[in-house]
Amino acid sequence: MVIKTSLNLTKDYKNFLQEIKGRIKSARLRAALAVNFEVIKFYWEIGQLIIEKQKISNWGDKLIDALAIDLKKSFPDTQGFSRSNLHSMRKFAESYPTLAIVQALPGQLPWTHNLVLLEQVKDPDVRLWYAKEALENGWSYRMLMSQIKEQLYEAKGKKSVKTTNFHLQLPGPQSSMAEETIKDPYKFHFLTMGDDAHEKEVHSGLLGHVKQFLMALGQGFALYATHYSMQVSKKRFEIDLLMYHTKLHCYVVIELKRGEFHPRDTGQLNFYLTAIDELLKTPQDNPTIGLLLCEKKDRVIAEYALRDVNKPIGISEFELAKALPKEICGNFPTIAEIEAELNTEFPKKVSGKMKLSG
């Protein structure tokens, strides 16, 4: 039986419904966070108990070995009591000696995030910095691993070497946020290119790995268009990459340049920004930002080139994974040759079971 009502037609009812929905979602989120914290707190407590017991006994790692076996027998349907995870609990408790520290940040992250932080970040302060960034930006554990691998902490600490004119061309709050957003260098190590590769090949390579590319750019970047075409005074111009930044609420024009930065590049980018502001930007959008990515730049020349430019532009370097020279590649065995060699040496154990990916 369907109950028909005219309430769903009124604006007041729709607003009330949205408020109720919002509260339900908020309550669900709080409940999920509470459950997660209880799990993290429980693991921390187990880790503390193991540390205390090992101090007063001579059992050492035998304690964890025995616990892993006996807990699995006692709780066969409960996961999380493996030998490796019990070692992680001990390490977690050792890394955060008080529950107050756990409550502040680690307790708000899933256990997988905490495992990544424990294994990949040795410095406690840096570990808490990454925990804060992961929490604020909603990183998955894979994203967290990627940001640690790309040394985001070290890159953020090099603010003084960034080359932008944001402080001159943007209002205070947006200027600071834009400065935080820009990296230098951008590490596109997922892309392998030889020295003779052209800009179009780099462009195509980045788009062929668009997920990794967006992760390398950082939180908030969304791909709006590639080879964005626009017409100014009956002439056609093409932008390499047009992005939209969801936190800065503005378009971002990205131009790729192989080789060294040249002052003329800022003139072209400045023109593109003016065109986007005139043709695409709406009153709700903030001023369009330009990002010039080059392989090498002289910081003094870049600063001079930006000094009198009237649009917000950042100039950053980018790094690619270098392809091996052909003469060196020729000296390495192919995947097929490696497989054939393995099958010859270990026919019974390897043949038909091992596959090397290329």
**Domain segments of the chain as ranges:** 35-149, 159-322
Whether the pTM exceeds 0.85: the reply is no
CATH classification code of 35-149:
1.10.10
pLDDT, residue 104, reads: 84
Q: Is 233 left (phi over 0), alpha (psi -120 to 50) or beta?
A: left
Q: What is residue 33's predicted lDDT score, i.e. its pLDDT?
A: 67
Contacts of 108 (CB under 8 A, 6+ apart): 33, 36, 37, 135
- Give pLDDT, residue 50: 93
CA angle, 266 then 272 then 274, to 5°: 105
Give the side-chain half-sphere CA count within 13 A for 194: 7
CA-CA distance, 159 to 227, in Å (whole number)?
30
Query: How does pLDDT run along the chain (358 residues), one tens digit per residue?
Result: 455 555 556 777 777 777 777 787 777 767 776 788 898 999 999 999 999 999 988 888 889 999 999 988 888 888 888 999 999 999 999 999 888 888 888 988 999 999 999 999 999 889 998 998 888 877 888 889 988 987 878 766 554 456 888 888 888 778 888 888 888 778 777 766 555 556 677 777 777 777 778 777 887 899 999 899 999 998 999 999 999 999 899 999 999 888 889 999 999 999 999 999 999 999 999 999 999 998 888 888 998 999 889 999 999 988 876 544 444 444 444 445 444 544 554 444 333 333 333 3
- Positive or negative CA dihedral for 279, 258, 308, 179? positive
- The three-point CA angle 231-236-242 to 5° equals 75
> pLDDT at position 169, please?
87
Residue-level pLDDT at 158: 53
Two structure tokens written together for 305 = 């080139």
Percent of the chain with pLDDT over 70: 82
Q: Under CATH, which number does the domain 159-322 receive?
A: 3.40.1350.10
